[in-house]
Amino acid sequence: MRIVVTGGAGFVGSHLTARLLEEGHEIVCIDNFMTSSEQTVEPFKAHPRWELIQHDIIDPVFLEGVDQLYNLACPAAPGHYQYNPVRTIKTSVQGVINMLGMARANGCRILQASTSEVYGNPTVTPQSESYHGNVNPIGRRACYDEGKRAAETLFFDYRREHDMDIRVARIFNTYGPHMHPFDGRVVSNFIRQAIAGDDITIFSDGSQTRSFCYVSDLVDGLVRLMNVEDFTGPVNLGNPEERTILELAEIILELTGSRSSLTTRPLPPDDPVRRCPDITLAREQLGWDPTVGIREGLEETIAYFQGLDFSEWTPPTPYWEAPPQD
């Protein structure tokens, strides 16, 4: 098949691309490289079935002969989506409208990479797809949280109005090689700090929880969702093994052999206290379950980070410290 992957140079997009190329498909990567690196797609450049279009999906783009479209384009880490919140929400609204339009014109199936952030700071745990969330619509995370909620709305309204073939995946915390070392995610922050010998920054007392899914497991779930029949989602894709942030820090210190100290800071506004997916629906509809344990996944991720020169990467600047870039 000819498959479009928007955000195909990003963390998840690059792993998805590798999987789809292995399956024999022709891949068109659309990416603006605002939060990704060309190093990530370097291995694909000589591949005869891979094509790159450097483009921002906020602006219209049209391709013909598309069989499937994975829409992964959107800054997904706090440091990136808060850098320019207006552009972030434009990506989840105007960009999604543009991609739905392309899919409709091609008559092809389209998958939206949504997020567990649609649940906000949840009042129930674990979170099932029937839970409507607890989101602050005017907070600093809202550009991403509400943007993704709006994207889901658009997907289902296009389905109702135009009978489109849609899929929606709610992705929980994912980690693995190709993460940006300064993206603001907890796994990348802790590993970078441990390797560099810097203090590991824990918000609050570290008792808040996350559920960490290795990227190969997530990609398998996305491919299964795209290819299953008669099921739209939304469906949670994440590892239901809940861990505290303090536990994560201790495991990373052990695996890296680092002597970094732990330091605490106040919990940021609207930061979820608990995050754990109910994946009953994924098991029933997709036959999907994560298989990579936390230690195995972290060892692979640490090995990747140990090969990086952190000085070559630019930390994102929060929007309240940076000039707007509409």
Whether 48 and 60 have beta carbons less than 8 Å apart is answered as no
Check: CB of residue 168 under 8 Å from CB of residue 113: no
Which tokens hold the place of 48? 């005869």
Q: Which is nearest to 230 in space by CA: 290, 281, 176, 167?
A: 167
Which has the closest alpha carbon to 248: 194, 289, 290, 303?
A: 194
7-45: b (≥16 Cβ within 10 Å) or e: bbbbbbbbbbbbebbeeebbbbbbbbebbbbeebbeebe
Nearest residue to 76 via CA among 6, 156, 157, 165: 6
Question: Is residue 144 flagged as an active site residue?
Answer: yes
Task: Give CA–CA dist 132/146, Å, rounded.
Answer: 12
Contact yes or no for 173/276 (Cβ under 8 A): no
Catalytic residue (one of 144, 158, 214, 319):
144
Measured distance CA(255)–CA(13) in Å, rounded: 27
Active site residues: 144
